[in-house]
Structure formats: structure tokens, C-alpha cells
């Protein structure tokens, strides 16, 4: 979809709760405050803006002499920063201010000069595992949604114990917690997932989204006996809140075996009220690890000790093109199962199940094609979302759309990467040479799986990124780790009658950063976000330039080095990044203070991008991409 088409329509879908103005203000000098806000789909085409400053000692003061018609940011150079200042932004159409004005942003008195919001957080108390090992807590992945219905975003944060494990690692872990915070650090609730949910990147994939259209987000997550909601209520213990035949279990059950794995006992998922953190409904997680909960034989998933059976993914998708569903998944190295659900009018219903191993003709081709992540996009242009499941795609009706057969990978990017080519494209590095053949890096048609360009390499290609970083070439660039060569462009492909089309390098050098992307500095190229540093690719020298590398913050998930969350959370169309402080007492939401000449809708108004913000915490976190081409040379409205 072109940028102009995106600005004009939203494909007939009902997005989550309507967005507020998303005003953010940060102090950038002893005298100046940089203010930024969202352009919304509900704004008139000719919308301009007035910016007001409000204090407790004077009437509201309009800061701009004439309506602001360009980029949605402004610098206040006249504030008394020794006292509290609130900033309010009103849309103006044909000289008339449009009401209501939305929520003001409050800048406290004597706020330090810094490009971030400080959000205080409170770690759960540490503890000891049954074998006597002590653990404490680190802030981990986050998600953002409107939990209270005011149009502005709150945060949901996962707390991981310091003894969290990869599935391949044995050992006990402490319990996992979910917290909800307002941006001033007020905690709304805490959920304890209990002893029967193991801690690690592959176990707890939490979805935060307005599933039932009440303009407040719900939280969906895998639970088990021992999980307690914010009120201390054990989930699945109230038959009036259980979908299906209620289970029978003891609240204190602990199913951890001597290796720390949890291979027996009930498995549930629960929908929690996003504002209160209390259980709305629970039911059995589908598919179960075993048909008999008393059995610990999980070898049908690829091993007998609990590695492959507990590889989970999750997403929200508009499967009917109109209202959101959620999809809970299990398995990708071998058997892969996706189950779609609806939560509407207080009722939980199952929509469909896709199972690579259920004997359905053609489904076996989807076995072993999943990633440590997934993506959601309308790849076939019918207004309904598909699930891009690694090297495969599942159609909106739960049937297989295609499988490339090139197998598992660790990264996945889906967007309109080539503005000259109709539709969406997908980019993926692969892990298994016997499956990927001459296409260790796979750039393909997202609707059909047809190879557009491939890159030959050897070994496990663990990282790969696609984004527009070089203005000399139209469309995205892509690159990978290992021996995949230099930097490639989506339009520099050469035919090869034996191996298929080959990507031709545009540069022998490539960024060493192969992680996240972020629109930060004001142009249409994307910057590189890796660890706790934002960098710019210098296409002339073939090196990177550091734009931001703040002290006192830490990244998450070990060598994956990902932020708590990154995306267009507040302000104009450019993206923010949230890192945790090194002492885990604070989240720091960094926002750009660099002026831009471009004016665009908030990226959250694009369905694909907004759903990418939902699945960002899933597995090996990936950056969000919009459904339209956003890069150098894009058509501007």
C-alpha cells in the first residue's frame, strides 16, 4: 500500500481504542522544551495545530502565533522551568479549534535536561529455588496499549528472574510477573504467573490489545495452576470464569521436575482485564503438551526432555478484516500448531486450528518452518490478515497459504520493501543449510513465497535485517550475519537459471548492527538500534555514526540485546525506545528531539504496524514495520 493510500483509508478495519494526541515534552536546554504530538486519522485533512502551555499561576498561553501546519513538533523557549508546566495541543480546522483537546502532558518543575521520560518501576521480591539458588528480578520485555480507555498508552512489563532459562537449559527458575504502569510510574496491577510457568524468552508471550471493542485493552497470556491475578485470585478456580469443563486441581500444585522443566499438569491461557489485572476468563491451552496431563512423554514435539514442546508464539490479527482475533501457537522446529480465538461480548470462542501434523493434505509441508518469531500482515490484499510463520504463511481462514521449505530462522521482516513492486515482501535468514540450499538469506514475495532474491552462505545464519538505510538505491537494503557478504538492495537482483535470482551487493561493507531499526533523526531513512545505541549508516564511508548511546541503561535478552519496547509510542511519526535502567528501578522512554520536515500520521494508525507492536515481545523480538513503503523517495501526501 502506498503512503498516500494509507493516509486515506484503513482498509475498513476497526482498530483498537481510538488514539489520543500522544503529547510528549522533554527539556532540551536550560531554557527550551521540545514538544511533539500525533497526527491522527480523525484529524481533518487541513488540520493545523495550536500548542498551549498551562501553569497554576497564569491562564493557558498559546505559544504559536499562527497555526502550525508542518511537522507535528514545536519548541517552547519561554517557559519558567522552575515550576510545573503542562502542554496541550489542539487541532485547528478553518480557523476553528477542535475539541475535546485531549490529555495534557505534565512536565514537572525543575525537570533535568534529558531526552527521556523516567518511569519508576518496582521489582518483585527475589527468592530461592527448591535447590537453594537465590534469584532477583530484571525488567524484561514490554508492551503498550490503552488500558484505562483515555486514548493514551500504558505499559505492561514482564519481570524475568535472573535464573531465567532457554528451553535447552535445565534448572529451576523463579516465577514470572507481569506489571502494568502508567507513564508517571503509577502501578495499576501485578500478576504472578506462579511456579508452573517457567521463565525464559520462549515461555511467556503476552498479548495486550482491545479484543472486544470496549476501548480498553485486555491481556492474554499462558497460565497454569498457581497463577494469581492482581486480586490474588487463582485463575481457573472459578467455574463461572472458565470456558469449558472446569479443571480439578490443588492450588499449591508444583509440577517442576528435578531438571526444572514443567511437563505435567494443566495448561491454561487467561484473559485479564487490562485496567484491573483481574481474571476475565480462562480455558485450556490448545494444543496441550500431552493428551494425558499426567504424562511427561513430550517426544512427539521433537525431544523427550521439554525443549521443543514449550516453544510458544502469539499474535493478534484481523482474520475477518473487521475485528481482532488472537492466535496462540506451539512449536516450530517440528510440529507447528496455531489456534485462533475471539473474545467478544464476554464470550470466548475458538475460530480455527492449523496443525502441521493432523493429516490434512498439504499441512505436512509446514512442519519445521516456524521461527522464534512471527509477523502479521494482509499479504494477499483481501483486507484480512495472514500469519507469517517463519518460512510459511497461514491464511486468514486457518489454511496453509504457502511454505517455502527453507526452514527455521531467528529473524523475520515483512513490509512493502520495494516501492516499485506491488504488494508486500518478506525477508528472512535461515538456520539449516540442508533446507535453505543456496538461499541462506531469503527475500521473497510475502503472498506467494516466490523467491525474489537469494544470498548463498554456509552454516547457521542467526541474524538478518531489512530496512532502508541508503538513499542512493530505491527500496530497502538487507544484510545478514556470518558469511553472507556485504549490503544488498531489494532491486539489485541478477538472474541465475540454476540457483534462482541472486542478490548483488551494493557495498562490500555492511553495518555490524543486525538487530532493530528506528526512525529517529528526521529523514526517511531508518536508523540502527542495537543494544543501547542508536546509529546512522554512513553509506559513503561504509561505517556507522553513533547518534545516541546513553549511560545507565541496559538491554534485554542476553546476546539478543533488545530494548524493553521500541516503536511510535508518543509524539510525531518517529519512534521511541524504552530501555531499563541498570538497577531495574526505572524505565527510560527516549524520544527524538531532532526536528523533521516530514508530517505523517502516527504509525500506530497503520494496522500492520500496530499489530507488530503487539507481537514485538514474542520470542526473539523484532522491530515493527508498516504495511506501506516508508523510506527515501516515498510518495508524500
Reported as a single tens digit per residue, the pLDDT across 403-441 is: 999 999 999 999 999 999 999 999 999 999 999 999 999
pLDDT score recorded for residue 372 = 97
Q: Which residues contact 240 (CB under 8 A, 6 or more apart)?
A: none
Q: Which three cell numbers stand for residue 355?
A: 496443525
Reported as a single tens digit per residue, the pLDDT across 2-23 is: 444 444 334 334 455 689 999 9
Sequence-ordered strand ranges (E) for 331-424: 337-344, 347-355, 375-377, 386-389, 392-394, 400-403, 413-415
pTM value is 0.96
Q: Which residues contact 400 (CB under 8 A, 6 or more apart)?
A: 354, 362, 363, 365, 366, 392, 393, 394
Reported as a single tens digit per residue, the pLDDT across 590-632 is: 999 999 999 999 999 999 999 999 999 999 999 999 999 999 9
DSSP secondary-structure letter at 531? T
What are the φ and ψ backbone dihedral angles of 166, each rounded to 5 degrees?
Answer: -70, 155
Q: Please state whether beta strands 105-107 and 96-97 pair in parallel, antiparallel, or not at all (unpaired).
A: unpaired
Rounded average pLDDT over 244-248: 94
Instruction: State how far the alpha carbon of 505 is from the alpha carbons of 299, 473, 487, in Å.
Output: 43, 12, 5
pLDDT level of residue 1 (50, 70, 90 thresholds) = very low
pLDDT score recorded for residue 101 = 82
Percent of the chain having pLDDT more than 90? 93
CA distance 345 to 117: 37
pLDDT score recorded for residue 17 = 66
Question: In this predicted model, which residue has the larger pLDDT, 101 or 21?
Answer: 21
Q: Cβ-count burial of 162 within 10 angstroms (0-12 exposed, 13-18 middle, 19+ buried)?
A: middle
Q: Which three cell numbers stand for residue 219?
A: 491481556
Instruction: State how far the alpha carbon of 228 is from the alpha carbons of 91, 144, 439, 579, in Å.
Output: 44, 22, 46, 27
CA distance 391 to 614: 21
Question: In this predicted model, which residue has the larger pLDDT, 378 or 11?
Answer: 378
Neighbours of 458 (CB within 10 A): 10
Reported as a single tens digit per residue, the pLDDT across 382-394 is: 999 999 999 999 9
Q: Which residues contact 363 (CB under 8 A, 6 or more apart)?
A: 354, 355, 356, 357, 400
Amino acid at each position: 500500500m502506498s503512503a498516500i493510500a494509507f493516509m486515506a483509508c484503513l482498509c475498513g478495519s476497526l482498530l483498537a481504542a481510538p488514539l489520543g494526541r500522544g503529547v510528549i515534552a522533554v527539556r532540551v536546554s536550560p531554557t527550551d522544551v521540545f514538544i511533539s504530538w500525533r497526527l491522527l486519522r480523525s484529524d481533518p485533512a487541513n488540520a493545523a495545530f495550536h500548542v498551549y502551555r498551562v501553569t497554576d499561576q497564569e491562564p493557558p498561553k498559546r505559544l504559536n502565533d499562527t497555526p502550525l501546519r508542518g511537522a507535528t513538533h514545536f519548541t517552547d523557549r519561554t517557559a519558567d522551568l522552575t515550576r510545573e508546566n503542562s502542554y496541550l495541543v489542539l487541532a485547528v480546522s478553518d480557523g476553528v479549534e477542535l475539541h475535546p483537546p485531549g490529555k495534557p502532558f505534565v512536565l514537572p518543575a525543575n525537570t533535568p535536561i534529558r531526552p527521556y521520560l523516567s518511569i519508576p518501576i518496582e521489582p518483585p521480591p527475589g527468592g530461592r529455588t527448591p535447590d537453594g539458588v537465590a534469584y532477583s528480578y530484571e525488567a524484561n520485555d514490554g508492551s503498550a496499549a490503552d488500558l484505562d480507555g483515555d486514548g493514551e498508552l500504558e505499559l505492561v512489563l514482564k519481570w524475568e528472574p535472573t535464573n531465567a532459562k532457554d528451553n535447552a537449559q535445565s534448572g529451576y527458575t523463579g516465577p514470572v510477573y507481569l506489571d502494568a504502569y502508567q507513564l508517571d510510574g503509577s502501578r495499576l496491577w501485578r500478576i504472578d504467573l506462579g511456579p508452573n510457568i517457567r521463565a525464559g524468552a520462549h515461555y511467556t508471550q503476552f498479548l495486550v490489545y482491545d479484543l472486544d471493542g470496549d476501548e480498553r485493552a485486555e491481556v492474554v497470556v499462558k497460565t497454569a495452576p498457581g497463577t494469581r491475578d492482581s486480586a490474588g485470585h487463582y485463575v481457573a478456580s472459578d467455574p463461572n470464569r472458565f470456558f469449558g469443563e472446569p479443571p480439578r486441581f490443588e492450588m499449591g500444585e508444583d509440577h517442576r521436575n528435578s531438571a526444572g522443566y514443567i511437563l505435567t499438569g494443566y495448561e491454561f491461557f487467561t484473559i485479564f482485564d487490562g485496567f484491573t489485572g483481574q481474571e476475565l476468563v480462562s480455558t485450556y491451552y490448545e494444543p496441550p503438551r500431552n493428551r494425558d496431563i499426567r504424562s511427561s512423554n513430550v517426544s512427539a514435539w521433537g525431544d523427550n526432555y521439554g525443549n521443543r514442546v514449550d516453544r510458544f508464539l502469539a499474535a493478534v490479527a484481523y482474520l475477518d478484516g473487521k475485528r481482532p482475533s488472537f492466535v496462540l501457537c506451539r512449536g516450530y522446529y517440528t510440529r507447528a500448531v496455531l489456534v485462533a480465538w475471539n473474545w467478544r461480548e464476554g464470550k470466548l470462542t475458538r475460530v480455527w486450528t492449523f496443525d502441521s501434523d493432523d493429516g490434512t493434505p498439504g499441512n505436512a509441508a509446514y512442519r519445521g518452518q516456524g521461527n522464534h518469531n512471527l509477523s502479521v500482515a494482509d499479504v494477499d490484499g483481501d483486507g484480512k490478515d495472514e500469519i507469517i510463520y517463519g518460512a510459511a504463511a497461514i491464511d486468514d481462514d486457518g489454511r496453509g497459504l504457502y511454505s517455502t521449505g527453507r526452514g527455521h530462522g531467528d529473524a523475520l521482516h515483512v513490509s512493502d520493501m520495494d516501492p516499485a513492486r506491488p504488494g508486500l515482501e518478506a525477508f528472512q535468514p535461515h538456520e539449516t543449510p540442508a533446507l535453505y540450499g543456496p538461499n541462506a538469506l531469503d527475500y521473497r514475495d510475502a503472498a506467494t513465497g516466490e523467491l525474489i532474491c537469494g544470498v548463498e552462505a554456509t552454516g547457521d545464519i542467526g541474524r538478518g535485517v531489512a530496512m532502508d538505510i541508503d538513499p542512493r538505491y530505491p527500496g530497502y537494503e538487507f544484510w545478514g550475519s556470518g558469511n553472507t557478504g556485504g549490503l544488498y538492495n531489494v532491486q539489485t537482483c541478477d538472474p541465475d537459471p540454476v540457483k534462482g535470482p541472486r542478490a548483488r551487493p551494493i557495498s562490500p561493507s555492511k553495518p555490524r548492527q543486525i538487530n532493530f531499526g528506528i526512525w529517529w533523526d528526521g529523514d526517511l531513512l531508518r536508523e540502527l538500534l542495537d543494544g543501547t545505541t542508536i546509529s546512522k549508516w554512513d553509506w559513503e564511508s561504509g561505517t556507522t555514526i553513533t547518534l545516541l548511546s546513553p549511560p545507565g541503561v541496559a538491554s534485554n535478552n542476553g546476546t539478543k540485546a533488545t530494548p524493553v519496547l521500541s516503536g511510535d509510542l508518543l509524539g510525531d511519526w518517529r519512534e521511541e525506545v524504552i530501555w531499563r535502567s541498570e538497577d531495574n528501578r526505572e524505565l527510560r522512554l527516549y524520544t527524538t528531539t531532532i526536528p523533521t520536515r516530514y508530517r505523517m500520521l502516527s504509525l500506530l494508525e497503520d494496522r500492520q504496524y500496530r499489530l507488530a507492536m503487539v507481537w514485538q515481545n514474542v520470542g526473539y523480538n523484532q522491530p515493527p514495520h508498516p504495511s506501506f513503503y516508508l523510506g527515501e523517495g516515498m510518495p508524500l501526501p
